[in-house]
């Protein structure tokens, strides 16, 4: 399993390159166009990182998270969700780059291979910025939202967070 | 702003100044490594897309789409947009998924398939990615031993939340408004 995990990345790249070669795709051109998109993603999220990182540090220095954490600990314990991921879950449906920055901060502080780090990564990877998606789609379609999509989407997000915490606990807890 | 108020209220102002600078420093120090991982995975994804993996995936997705969008799928243009939207989402191509999704949404609006539009929106708020490249990039840039080992966990969590969303929107679509 561990060897397989370490081989995933090289094998994926090899398979993608071989597949592209067979199809006659210009590999250099495709990869440099992709890398450019990667840089654009970074450019898009860097401002958020620059705001969220200090904001989280500041919040932690204030002592408020300890107070809130102590108050909400029974709730998180009951749901089986690490209380450290509270801010990430709150930001996730609202702001894509904010959630990404919050997840990064968690992984950096607790380590990417820790239970909390993994839970944060799984939560981030299996959900979307629901409010943004709803706004974009209804605006584009020119139809007024009848108020059904939002509750369904937010419930799905909640299920996603609970399921992420559960599966990480089972696999790596 | 909220954080500053909290630190004032709780009387921990001394640490606040240095905390802000440390935070900015962290973000900047982390950026180059994040750039490396993001560029690598965007490059590989672009290769997959240009090799036609997206089109293959779109073909595979037809049967479930026919069931989820009976009215939308009857219109060839809308069906094509729907399958392109879903396959781009699965490959993690957000830039390609949104325009296709918007075309699909306009198609459904034209067909007056209101409840199917709700389904499309919920489908797009639940992530259905095959490879969690962004989350894995973050892990790789922070020194994870095997950044993609979260993939099965992401599948489980995505599928459960997708099912929850689809069941709920189905129920809500039937309820009188």
* Minimum CA–CA partner of A53 in chain B: B23
Grade residue B151 by pLDDT with cuts at 50, 70 and 90: very high
Q: Per-residue pLDDT tens for A71-129?
A: 888 999 999 999 999 989 999 998 888 899 999 999 999 999 999 999 999 999 999 99
With a CB cutoff of 8 Å and minimum separation 6, the contacts of B176 are none
Interface test with B, best of A153, A165, A166 (most B CBs within 10 A): A153
Is residue B83 within 8 A of residue B128, CB to CB? The reply is no
Which residues 96-115 of B are in CB contact (within 8 Å) with A? Answer: 98, 101-102, 105-106, 108-109, 114
Task: Compute the nearest-CA separation of B174 from chain A (Å).
Answer: 10
Helix H, strand E, coil C: the string for chain A is CHHHHHHHHHHHHHHHHHHHHHCCCCHHHHHHHHHHHHHHHHHHHHHHHHHHHHHHHHHHHHCHHHHHHHHHHHHHHHHCCCHHHHHHHHHCCCCHHHHHHHHHHHHHHHCCCCHHHHHHHHHHHCECCHHHHHHHHHHHHCCCCCCCHHHHHHHHHHHHHHHHHHHHHHHHC
* Across A32-53, average pLDDT: 86
Per the structure block, which two tokens stand in for B134? 């962004």
What was the pLDDT predicted at B99? Answer: 86
Interface subset of B 146-175, CB within 8 angstroms of A: 146-154, 156-158, 160-162, 164-165, 168-169, 172-173
- Give me the residues paired with residue B126 across strands: A127
**Number of Cβ pairs < 8 A linking chain A and chain B:** 307
SS3 (DSSP) at B126 = strand
Contact between B45 and A34 under an 8 Å Cβ cutoff? The reply is: yes
Give the DSSP H or E segment for B145.
none
> ipTM value of the model?
0.85
Alpha-carbon Rg for chain A in angstroms: 19
| Assigned domain for A159 exists | yes
Q: Mean pLDDT in chain A?
A: 88
Contact B51 A128 (CB under 8 A): no
**Helix, strand, or coil (residue B112):** coil
Q: Is residue A96 part of a domain?
A: yes
CA distance B131 to A83: 27
Give me the torsion for CA of B125, B46, B149, A122, rounded to 10°: -20
Structural domains in chain A (count): 1
pLDDT in tens, A67-83: 887 888 899 999 999 99
Q: B20 vs A57: CB contact, 8 Å cut-off? A: yes
Q: How high is the pLDDT of residue B3?
A: 58
The CA distance from B131 to B47, in Å, is 14
Tens digits of per-residue pLDDT, B107-129? 999 999 999 999 999 999 998 88
Q: For B47, which of A16, A62, A138 is closest by C-beta distance?
A: A16
The pLDDT of residue A50 is above 70: yes
Q: What are phi and psi of A147, to 5 degrees?
A: 75, 15
Q: Where in the sequence is the domain holding A51, given as residue range(s)?
A: 47-172
Contacts of A17 in chain B (CB under 8 A): 47
Which of B114, B138, B175 to probe the A interface (max A CBs under 10 A)?
B138
Does residue A148 lie within any of the structural domains?
yes
Residues of chain B with Cβ-Cβ distance to A155 below 8 Å are: 164-165, 168
Q: Contacts of residue A46 in chain B, CB cutoff 8 Å?
A: 27, 31
Contact assignment for A143 to B117 by CB distance below 8 Å = yes
How is chain B split into domains, by residue range? 17-174
Task: Average the pLDDT over each of A157-166, B127-136, B152-161 and give the range with the smallest value.
Answer: B127-136
Is it the case that residue B48 has pLDDT exceeding 90?
Answer: no
Within 8 A of A25 by CB-CB distance, chain B residues are: 47, 50-51
Q: What's the pLDDT score for residue B138?
A: 92
Q: Which of A13, A50, A167 sits opposite B156 (nearest CB)?
A: A167
Integer Cα distance of A112 and A106 in angstroms: 8
């Amino acid at each position: 399993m561990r060897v397989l995990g370490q081989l995933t990345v090289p094998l994926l790249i090899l398979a993608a390159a071989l597949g592209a070669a067979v199809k006659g795709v210009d590999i250099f051109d495709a990869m440099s166009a992709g890398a450019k998109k990667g840089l654009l993603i970074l450019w898009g999220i860097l401002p958020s990182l620059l705001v969220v990182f200090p904001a989280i540090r500041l919040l932690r220095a204030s002592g408020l998270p300890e107070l809130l954490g102590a108050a909400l600990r029974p709730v998180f314990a009951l749901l089986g969700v690490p209380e450290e991921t509270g801010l990430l879950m709150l930001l996730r449906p609202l702001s894509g780059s904010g959630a990404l920055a919050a997840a990064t901060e968690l992984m950096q502080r607790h380590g990417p291979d820790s239970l909390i780090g993994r839970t944060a990564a799984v939560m981030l990877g299996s959900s979307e910025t629901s409010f943004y998606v709803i706004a974009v789609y209804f605006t584009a379609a020119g139809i007024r939202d009848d108020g059904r999509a939002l509750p369904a989407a937010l419930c799905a997000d909640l299920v996603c967070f609970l399921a992420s915490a559960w599966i990480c606990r089972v696999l790596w807890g | 702003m909220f954080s500053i108020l909290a630190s004032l209220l709780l009387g921990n102002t001394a640490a606040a100044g240095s905390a802000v600078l440390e935070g900015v420093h962290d973000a900047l120090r982390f950026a180059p490594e994040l750039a490396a991982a993001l560029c690598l995975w965007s490059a590989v994804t672009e290769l997959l897309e240009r090799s036609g993996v997206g089109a293959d995936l779109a073909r595979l997705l037809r049967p479930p789409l026919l069931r989820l969008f009976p009215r939308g799928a009857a219109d060839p243009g809308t069906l094509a947009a729907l399958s392109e939207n879903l396959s781009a989402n699965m490959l993690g191509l957000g830039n390609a998924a949104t325009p296709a999704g918007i075309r699909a949404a306009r198609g459904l609006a034209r067909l007056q398939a209101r409840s199917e539009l709700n389904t499309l929106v919920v489908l797009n708020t639940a992530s259905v990615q095959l490879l969690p490249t962004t989350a894995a990039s973050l892990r790789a840039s922070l020194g994870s031993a095997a950044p993609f080992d979260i993939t099965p966990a992401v599948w489980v969590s995505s599928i459960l939340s997708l099912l929850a969303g689809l069941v709920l929107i189905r129920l809500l679509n039937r309820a009188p408004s």
